[in-house]
Amino acid sequence: MRVVRFITAILVVATALPAFAESDRDMLLEIKFGPYHPNIDSEFANATPYADMMGGGSVLMSQLEYEYEVFNGLGVLSIGASIGYSQDSGHQKLKSTMQDSKDSTTFHIVPLKFDLVYRFDYLAYRYNVPLVPFVKTGFDYYIWWITNGVGDVPKSADGSTGRGGTFGGHLSLGLAFLMDFFSPSTAQNFDVDVGVNNTYLFAEYVMSWVNDFGSSNSFDLSSKTFMAGIAFEF
Partner 1 sequence: MTVESGKTMLVGAVAVVTAATVFLPVCAEAEISGFEFNGIAPVGDFELDDRIGPHSVDTEHVINVEDCKKYSGSIEITWSVDWTPADGTKWGVKMSEPGGTCSTSDLSDLGTSCYQEMIQHETDMVSSTNNKFTIPMDPLMGGDCSAGTEKSTVIYIIINEAGVYSDQQIIFDVDLAGPTAPVLSEPSEGDSNVTVKWTDDANSNETDIRYRVYWSDSKFDDSNKDQDSVSRSDLITASSYKVPDLTNEQEYWFGVTAVDNADNESPLSAVSSAMPIEAYDFFEYYKDGGAGGRESGGFCFIATAAWGSPMAGDVMALRAFRDRFLLTWWPGRLFVKAYYLSSPPLAWVISKSEALRALVRTALWPLVQVSRFLNAAPAWLGAGLLFSIWLIWGLGVSMLAVTVRRRRRGA
Applying CB under 8 A, which residues contact partner 1?
40, 43-44, 47, 49-50, 52-54, 90, 92-96, 98, 101-103, 105-107, 139, 141, 146-150, 154-165, 167, 212-213, 215-219
Q: Shortest Cβ distance from residue 148 to partner 1 (Å)?
A: 4
Q: Shortest Cβ distance from residue 37 to partner 1 (Å)?
A: 14
Terminal-residue alpha carbon distance, the chain: 38
Cβ closer to partner 1: 54 or 227? 54
Cβ closer to partner 1: 21 or 99? 99
Q: Shortest Cβ distance from residue 162 to partner 1 (Å)?
A: 3
- Judge contact between 197 and 191, C-beta under 8 A: yes
Q: Shortest Cβ distance from residue 163 to partner 1 (Å)?
A: 5
Cβ closer to partner 1: 25 or 91? 91
Rounded Cα distance between 74 and 45, Å, is 48
* DSSP H or E stretch at residue 127: helix 122-127
Cβ closer to partner 1: 166 or 197? 166
Q: Which residues pair with 33 in a beta bridge?
A: 62, 228
- Judge contact between 212 and 190, C-beta under 8 A: no
Report which DSSP code applies to 210: E
Report which DSSP code applies to 216: T
